[in-house]
Every structure is written in C-alpha cells, then in structure tokens.
Chain A
Amino acid sequence: MNIPREQRQQPGWHVDGNGLAGAMSDIFGRDITDAMGVCNFCGNRAAVAEVPAYNAGPGVVLRCAECDTILMRWATTPISTWLEMPGLRSLEIAMQP
C-alpha cells in the first residue's frame, strides 16, 4: 500500500484530521481530534488531528504521516456511512470531562 519516499511527490491535496472534526463527529458522535491513534504498520503514534486527511475524492482517507498506511477511511452514501480502519492498531479516546 505504501509508496517509497523517493517515489512520492510532496503531498498537496490533503488537510489535517483536525479539519475533519465535524465529519468524524457524524461517525463517532463527538469530536475525536484529540484521540491518539497507533499505526499498525510502523507503530507511529499521533493525534487524529495531526494525521494527513485526503478528502478530494469520493470519500475520506486518513493516512499515517510516517508511512502512508491507511489508518481509517470512510465514504458516505445517502443512506449510510461505510467505515474501514485497516491500519489502525488502536485508538485511545479520552473520557469526556
């Protein structure tokens, strides 16, 4: 799934997970931008807010900033949202205050 560093172009078409706080709240019921995710491929740990989010397309793809592994992706149709978390080893969501 990953493109070797020397073969990738400066990524340009993404925002940060932070900018998708609202879209993710549709799925998780709350703002999870401060949740910490661990990449199943390289072990990198990062806040959801910091993760590169590719949203110029039919759905949204969140990738590990270190190795490009797809942590989470989803697409919304008129009747449902399809969610996959192929490369997410864990997601730590803090208790609501």
Chain B
Amino acid sequence: MARAAALPRLTWLPATISDVRRESATATTLRLDVDDWPGHVPGQHVDLRLTAPDGYSAVRPYSLASAGGSGTVEITVDTTPGGEVSTYLTQGARPGHHLEIRGPLGKWFVWDTSDTEPVQLIGGGSGIVPLMSMLRTHDAQQHPAQMRLLYSLPSAVHMLYRPELASLHAEGTVTFLYTRQPTAASTRPPGRITADDLRQHAINPDLKPSAFVCGPTGFVETVLTLLVGFGYDPERIRAERYGEGSST
C-alpha cells in the first residue's frame, strides 16, 4: 500500500526578498521567494527569523496576505514604533536580502473554502492582513459564499490594499470604520467599533455566519464581546490576537 507522502517537517527555509512595496504611510508588503514552499490556506501565518551579523536573531509571526493556493508568499508589515523586526521589514528590507521562514502555520484561524456559509471578517489595523488573504482567495475562486469585511483603522492614510479594498467598498463588501480621522464622505463619527456598526454593516446573525476577527489583543477582545452580544454563535467565531506590541 502506498504511504501518503510524509508532511515536510516544519523547518526553517531560506527565503529571498523579491519585491518590496509601500502599502500605506507606515506599512510595507514584502514578497518572498521560497524554494519548496508547500502553499498555504487563507488565514495562516509564517514565522520569520532575522539574523544580525553578530549572530543575534529574532523571530516574529506574520500573517500571509496572498491568496491561498496561489503559491505566492506575501506579507504586509506595519511599523511598530521602536520595534526591532518591524522597523527592519518596513524600512531596511530590500529586494535580494535574505531571511528565514517557517510555515505555513496555524490550523485554526483558517477559512475552509469548502464551507458555503456567509463569512463576516472584522479586522483592526494590521489585523486586516489574513482577512485580505481570505478575500483574495474568495475572489480568485469566485466563491459563492457571502463575505463581508469591517475594517477599523485610524484614517485613510493607514489603509492597506487601498485599490483592492476601494473596489470592494464600491460593491458594498467592505466598510471602513475610522477611529481618528474619517474621510469627508463618511457620516460616521470617528471612534472605535460599536454595536451599532455591527447592526448596520455586519452580516445578520440569522444567516448563521461564521466570523474571523483579527488585530491587536484589546481590539479583538472588544469585537468578540460585541459579536456575541449581536447574536453570533461563539462556536463559529475565530480570533487571532496580535498582542499589544503591534500597532492599531
């Protein structure tokens, strides 16, 4: 009997930065060339390891932004003031630089494309990254499930994936919730996400949606409470907390 091929052990793979793109005033998207990359499903992350010439190394997790099944490895990093790894990735990284990658990681915060139930995505700050992978996968597959995004961010200059999200916004798939500085067109007063925002813009709980929530830990905690209060089934909500070091 043929044995299923053993899954590759999670080892550090060498990666070369092949493209660096400014994504917003403070964030950068990096494309990585990785030999033998096994592919990922939307929602997963990787660990990156950077090593300085003196041997000092630092490891941090970053969500994958590229569509699942695309074979492309792209991450988007927002600057954390004084942060050692994000400062390099957003300001120092250049095409041709080398680093190490381990992954894809995480079997829980993933969107299973065989599900057809509606999906509500809620992201705060750089927490949009894995949700973008879900939106891109949805788009690439012309997936039948309803998918919507609520994106909380300080102001439009912080917006990641602006061209893509602007067209999804025009289709009514995406709602921007500005916490500090709204655009001239928006009627909502600036501020953190509220129960009202969910009532107005989130998929109705009667449709039994699943939900993915990602962002700084405090943001995620708030949204989870609001979603359950709104009537979402806690069993269908998955969350990814980025910690408090990451920026909002």
A interface residues (Cβ-Cβ under 8 A, vs B):
10-16, 18-19, 21-23, 25, 29-31, 33-34, 47, 49-50, 55-56, 96-97
Contact = CB atoms under 8 A, between A and B. Distances in A.
Interface residues of B, number: 26
Q: Which 7 A-B pairs have the closest CB atoms?
A: A49-B108, A22-B47, A21-B105, A34-B107, A25-B10, A18-B106, A21-B106
Nearest to B43: A18
B54 to A, nearest CB: 15
Interface of B: 4, 6-7, 9-10, 45-47, 59, 61, 102-103, 105-109, 217-218, 221, 239-244
B7 A19 contact: no
A23 to B, nearest CB: 8
17 contacts: A11-B217, A13-B243, A14-B241, A15-B242, A15-B243, A16-B109, A18-B109, A21-B45, A22-B46, A25-B10, A25-B105, A29-B10, A31-B105, A33-B106, A33-B107, A47-B108, A49-B107
Contacts, number: 76
Nearest to A56: B243
Contacts of B9: 29-30
Contact of B10 (A13, A15, A22, A34): A22
